[in-house]
Amino acid sequence: MKQLPKSLQQKLQQREANNALRKLPMHNDLVDFASNDYLGFAKNEAVFDLSHQLLINQKLKINGATGSRLLSGNYNLHKETESYIARFHGTESALIFNSGYDANLGVLSAIPQRNDIIFYDELCHASIRDGIQLSKAKSYKFKHNDLENLEKLITKFKIHNTTSVTYIITESVFSMDGDSPNLEKLSVLCEKHQCYLIVDEAHALGVFGTQGSGVVQQLNLQDKVFARIITFGKALGCHGAVVVGSELLKSYLINYARSFIYTTALSPHSIATIYIAYQHLNSEKEQIKKLNENIIFFNEEINAVGLKHLFIASNSPIQCAVIPSNEKAKKVSQYLQSKGFDVKPILSPTVPKGQERLRFCLHSFNSYEEITKVLQLLSASLHS
């Protein structure tokens, strides 16, 4: 067969030389400190069984959606699920996308127009950056969670373009640092400068707020936010994403978001799983409570074993120990895995060079004993 062009082979060789070549790992049975399955919903048998029963009740014994939602792939179950999600998140409407990546691409490529301005946090997810690149709007990044820097940029660039619409984009929990912006102050800043606030809540669903509704609702800011992108592949344990906001926003996305229009819809089975998993957020309050107790305990333990200086401050399930250099981060990760704990390294270029790290993902099902043991092993590996 035709081989990869030499120029691309050289790029792979360079990445391998930098100890940064990505490969697909196999699933393992180690103690889970790696997955985004914060509440254990991905393995929840009740969610699985009830999703199957919902399909039977609705006479949806089909394996795929058969087309885009604008053609043959829209079912009553989609409407029911989106209505439930909209009520859950205290908003007018909800529109399901096939993934969080598709949702960010769809929103950011379709909504900001030529001559509009986008300001985005410098640590925003790749899907946000890619969506912005597809937009015709001007875009500027601001320093991470630095509202003073953001306001300076707004003042600098808006003064020359008073007729444009300005969008501010951030995440309520950042996927690589696990920290959060001050959304209350950010919403005030947006009102002051008449900006439209877009918040990615991928890592907040199921973790923060009443019934795990997210940081925006925890702070009662849902009426201050133009659009929220909420992903199902983390605490909800399934697949897909939703954009929640006004009815007009939904109508606009249906008409202009290319990643929604030109793709086969999620299968009815995926939609049924989303619906049942959302309902489980109402009934699994103990799991949400246990997750938050584990977050508190983890922060206490990193202090107790003398590792606090390594970790980025976080009150989320994402806890990161910065271990500069790809080689060292991979070596420590391999040691922890050899001891039975699945902890993954995050390497450059995913994070900036010198910011390589181990990323500990906490779950409701992790025990205190497992948390203590993995941190003791981390400490031992760094001092050996």
Is residue 122, in this structure, part of any structural domain at all?
A: yes
pLDDT of residue 160: 60
Q: Are residues 149 and 271 in the same domain?
A: yes
Among 264, 283, 302, the domain boundary falls at 283
Q: Are residues 181 and 126 in the same domain?
A: yes
Which of 113, 125, 107, 129 is CA-nearest to residue 166? Answer: 113
Q: Are residues 214 and 296 in the same domain?
A: no
The helix (run of H) or strand (run of E) holding residue 321 is strand 318-322
Among 230, 255, 283, the domain boundary falls at 283
Is residue 13, in this structure, part of any structural domain at all?
A: no
Is residue 51, in this structure, part of any structural domain at all?
A: no
Q: Are residues 66 and 199 in the same domain?
A: yes
Is residue 305, in this structure, part of any structural domain at all?
A: yes
**The pair of three-digit structure tokens given for residue 187, joined into one six-digit string:** 């919403």
Is residue 335, in this structure, part of any structural domain at all?
A: yes
Please provide the DSSP assignment of 197-211 as one string.
EEEE-TTTTTTSSGG
Q: Are residues 254 and 304 in the same domain?
A: no
Across the strands, what pairs with 358?
A: 321, 345
Walk along the chain (384 residues) and give the pLDDT tens digit of each residue.
989 999 999 999 999 888 888 888 888 899 999 999 999 999 999 999 999 999 999 999 999 999 999 999 999 999 999 999 999 999 999 999 999 999 999 999 999 999 999 999 999 999 999 999 999 999 999 999 999 999 999 998 876 666 789 999 999 999 989 999 999 999 999 999 999 999 999 999 999 998 999 999 999 999 999 999 999 999 999 999 999 999 999 999 999 999 999 999 999 999 999 999 999 998 888 999 999 999 999 999 999 999 999 999 999 999 999 999 999 999 999 999 999 999 999 999 889 999 999 999 999 999 999 999 999 999 999 876
Is residue 214, in this structure, part of any structural domain at all?
A: yes
Is residue 183, in this structure, part of any structural domain at all?
A: yes
Q: Are residues 176 and 199 in the same domain?
A: yes
Bond from prior residue into 345 cis (ω within 30 degrees of 0): no
Query: Based on the structure, what is the number of domains in the chain?
Result: 2
Could you tell me the residue range of the domain that residue 99 belongs to? 58-283
Angle (CA) 268 273 274, round 5°? 95
Q: Are residues 211 and 198 in the same domain?
A: yes
Which residues make Cβ contacts (< 8 Å) with residue 167, sequence separation at least 6?
111, 112, 116, 117, 118, 119, 137, 195, 196, 197, 198, 226
Q: Are residues 245 and 323 in the same domain?
A: no
Q: Are residues 184 and 37 in the same domain?
A: no
Quickly count helices (H) and strands (E) in the chain. Answer: 14, 12
pLDDT of residue 162: 66
Is residue 120, in this structure, part of any structural domain at all?
A: yes
Q: Are residues 327 and 303 in the same domain?
A: yes
pLDDT of residue 161: 62
Among 224, 248, 283, the domain boundary falls at 283
